[in-house]
Amino acid sequence: MHSRRQFLKNSMQTYIGATLYSLSTLVSCGPNNSKSNNNLRELIEDISSLSPLPNNPNIRIAPGVEAKLISAAGNIMSDGKEVPNYPDGMGCFDQSGKIVLIRNHELAPKFGENQAPLLSYDPLTPGGTTTVILDDKLNIISEFLSLSGTSVNCAGGATPWNSWISCEETTDTPSNSSLVSQKHGYAFEVFASETSLIKKEPLIAMGRFKREAITIEPVSGIAYQTEDTDNSCLYRFIPDTPGDLTSGLLQVLKVHGVENFKSYTLSSDDIHIKFNIEWIDIINPDPSNGLNNHARSLGAAIFRRNEGIIAENNAIYFAATEGGTNKSGQIFKVSTDTNTLELSLACSENNQILMPDNLNINKYGDLIVCEDAPNPNYLLGIKPDGTIYPIARSMTGEWAGACFSPDGNILFVNAQKANNGETYALQLDWNILRSN
């Protein structure tokens, strides 16, 4: 038995202790923000302050960071299969004193072949996850395929009961694509305790849509879910039993009194304006006209390419990668205690952050942001007062899957397109890094 039904017992204490500060004062990265180091992007473009990695000079790291290559696409794993290309979202877990990484691979049918068709949800599709088990020296103990036969596994989210929810960012079906034999657009659950590939079934009740990522609010067990389209909605799933995502109620966010609120029209002038929200029930998680169309017909708020999402205390932060009037990105906050939505960050091409994607939060309450923009892409931290600092820079595509070791001092991250995919452990001296 997995301990998923036990997580509520200690979730409040664990969750509040996980961050020492609150992001509630997070401010705009716009040019008029005096707390934000406005010339940071110009400074980090002067790459002399960042050290190139010996194995990949296209990746540079900031002072206070040491990098170790953990795994790379094409390597042979413990199960005899190759590490798939394009690692994306990732979760880190403590499993009996060992570090366990569960890592998505964003593969559509045209980008690879299924390596385990007999244990696959769909034998035609190459997406899925790999699990990497590490010792305390960050050496691989075991590495294996842990989910197979899914498609375009972009991001996902870790649960408090030590599992990873892997999300499909596609709604392909056999009726619209000859490259699949099953309906796609689902979430799948992989447990950190699993030691080999197990055939998985989709979590149908959570909805079928171009799902990017999820985060679990630990106290309630509610799953908040992002959708990566030009007309994205924000969903939440209230499980019938906390810790069990197989049944429950799906809902979509609506701004109270406004049909299809256009969030992407907000700018830095609208920072921290609070909009009252409501959650509209969705009875059928897979309607015939598509969940996104159905949600918008219910008046759901509209975002541009919702991607990364993370819970912190009574807040849910999520990134709209192409939000804003110039499509440079926005970061929003949903306050679960007051049922409000607000814009926390408005990015622009003249400032420090471009096209935010995967998000996480470190032990100091800093928001960790992976960029998915035209090169160069940065891995950045944002302090609660809005100060931004660099962690790493890539000239080979997006950063993805940022997640922390149990002690919070090692940041695991994927350089998705570097040599078709590399997974790094970044050992961090926070005193140096946060003073950069």
Of the two residues 181 and 17, the one the predictor is more confident about is 181
pLDDT in tens, 75-129: 999 999 999 999 999 999 999 999 999 999 999 998 889 999 999 999 999 999 9
> What is the pTM (predicted TM-score) of this model?
0.92
Of the two residues 256 and 289, the one the predictor is more confident about is 256
Q: Following DSSP, what letter does each residue of 214-226 receive, concatenated?
A: EEEETTTTEEEEE
Q: Residue for token digits 């000079």?
A: 57
Joined tokens for residue 175? 């009726």
What does the pLDDT average to over 225-238? 98
Q: Which of 431, 424, 398 is nearest to 410 (CA)?
A: 424
What is the pLDDT, as a whole number, of residue 41?
53
Of the two residues 348 and 425, the one the predictor is more confident about is 425
Task: Place 289 in a pLDDT band, splitting at 50, 70 and 90.
Answer: confident
pLDDT in tens, 163-187: 999 999 999 999 999 999 999 999 9
Distances in Å between the Cα of 383 and the Cα atoms of 42, 50, 90, 380, 409 are: 19, 20, 23, 10, 16
Contacts of 118 (CB under 8 A, 6+ apart): none
For residues 171 and 286, give the distance between their C-alpha atoms in angstroms, rounded to a whole number. 10
> In order of start, what are the domains of the chain with their CATH numbers?
16-433 (2.120.10.30)
Strand partners, 333: 317, 342
Contacts of 359 (CB under 8 A, 6+ apart): 308, 309, 310, 317, 318, 319, 331, 367, 368, 369, 370, 402
Q: Does the pLDDT value for residue 225 go beyond 80?
A: yes
pLDDT in tens, 43-69: 555 556 789 998 999 999 999 999 999
Q: Which of 264, 252, 329 is nearest to 296 (CA)?
A: 252
What is the pLDDT, as a whole number, of residue 23?
55
